[in-house]
Amino acid sequence: MNNDLLHQIALTLIPDVGCVHAKILLEHFGTAENIFKAKKKELGLIEGIGEVRAKQIKDFDNFSDAEQEIIFCEKHHIQTLFITDKNYPQRLLNCYDSPTLLYYRGNANLNASKIISIIGTRNNTDYGKQITEQFVADIELQSDVVILSGLAFGIDAIAHKAALQHNIPTVGVLAHGLDTIYPSQHKSLAKDILLNGGLLTEFRKNTKPDKHNFPRRNRIAAGLSDAAIVIETASKGGSMITAELAYNYNRDVFAVPGKITDSKSSGCLKLIQQNKAIVFTGTEEFMIEMGWQQKKSFIKKQRELFIDLSDDEKVIVEILKEKDSIAIDELYLKSALSSSSVAAAILNLELQNVIISLPGKMYKLA
């Protein structure tokens, strides 16, 4: 039996000692085992702990439940991520209420360079489905991306399925233990997610998906991401909670605008109105806002699929691939084409949205 893990799990089982208190204790004692070894008086003197919690720690003797959890994790190949572990999701460390211990099944990198939470109503419209699927398709060629959602009906399931379709790792953040799947209709989806992504929770086995667990789940989805995109939501509900949490964690929040008469867009419009969310107008604008650059292969693939370039136009495009932007005079020089040929090629490329003009007679790839 792993002695460190035994005490780490036990720490999460102590009554009245939540993740904030656990963090305080770990900062003072270093390890979970040292917390249990500490004297009651020493524990009671720590600010935020006090005599009552000190007594709860010293009276704790339910290590058998922790042992059973270890057996369950070993049997089902569940990885435990303690808050002091190197492979613990580093973004969560910036949250004041970081989960003390996470249970994880999967192969997705929880410290990937780009992690996006896609959230929304369980009763989505066709518009919401279309926006979600298009966004996921657009970022397919971005490197090291993980899509997070909550495995719920509606937007969550659409996001997971789209990610799987485009071979993007996707992680379902759960409000219950890993011994069950909620909703049960998503058992097949959960199995597919485990093949390219994972399932993550802070709840141990036999924890039911009770109502009060979902806000705790939502804070993980919010804190683990770089950005949260709210596709559709009413003005109240789980998606609004997640968006508020993401905003409070200083994450970038995006909201898809919709009709002012549509209740499923009222939450998105409210977030935008309160300046808690950036208006989501498309993947390209999202990438610019996040400071993420699309791979050039994506641009090249689109042109090859949909645009038939002339020889002169191909010359201009190849030159522009070498630089972020270039002046018209340098295009004349590098292309070795006549000025009229360059002008005609530029005009056609602009009309086809392949290049865009900048102030000062500069040009760049669109």
Give rounded-to-5 percent helix, strand, coil for the chain. Answer: 50, 15, 35
Instruction: Return the residue matching tokens 């900048």.
Output: 358
219: tokens are 């804070």
Q: Which residue pairs from 127-134 have beta carbons closer than 8 angstroms and sit at least 24 positions apart in sequence?
A: 127/232, 127/258, 128/154, 128/155, 128/158, 128/231, 128/232, 128/256, 128/264, 129/155, 129/158, 131/231, 131/256, 131/280, 132/158, 132/159, 132/162, 132/231, 133/158, 133/162, 134/283
From the number of C-beta atoms within 10 Å of its C-beta (0-12, 13-18, 19+), residue 299 rates as middle
Q: Cα 258 from chain centroid?
A: 23
Rg of the chain (C-alpha set): 25
Q: What is the pLDDT of residue 296?
A: 46
Q: Which residue pairs from 318-324 have beta carbons closer than 8 angstroms and sit at least 24 positions apart in sequence?
A: 320/355, 320/363, 320/364, 320/365, 321/296, 321/365, 324/364
Q: What is the pLDDT of residue 297?
A: 46
Domain 296-365 has CATH 1.10.10.10: yes
The top-level CATH class assigned to 3-74 is: mainly alpha
Q: How far is CA 311 from CA 121, 175, 191, 226, 295, in A?
A: 49, 57, 49, 42, 24
Q: What is the pLDDT of residue 307?
A: 65
pTM listed for this prediction: 0.78
Q: Per CATH, which fold does 105-290 belong to?
A: Rossmann fold (3.40.50)
Half-sphere exposure of 321 (CA within 13 A, CB side): 13
One digit per residue, the tens of pLDDT, for the chain of length 366 reads 689 999 999 999 999 999 999 999 999 999 999 999 999 999 999 998 999 999 999 999 999 999 999 999 999 999 999 999 999 999 999 899 999 999 999 999 999 999 999 999 999 999 999 999 999 999 988 889 999 999 999 999 999 999 999 999 999 999 999 999 999 999 999 999 999 999 999 999 999 999 999 999 999 999 999 999 999 999 998 999 999 999 999 999 999 998 888 888 999 999 999 999 999 999 989 998 998 875 444 444 455 445 678 888 888 888 888 877 788 878 888 888 888 888 888 888 888 888 888 776 788 887
Q: What is the pLDDT of residue 141?
A: 81
Q: What is the pLDDT of residue 142?
A: 85
Domain locations along the chain: 3-74, 105-290, 296-365
Same fold, 3-74 and 105-290: no
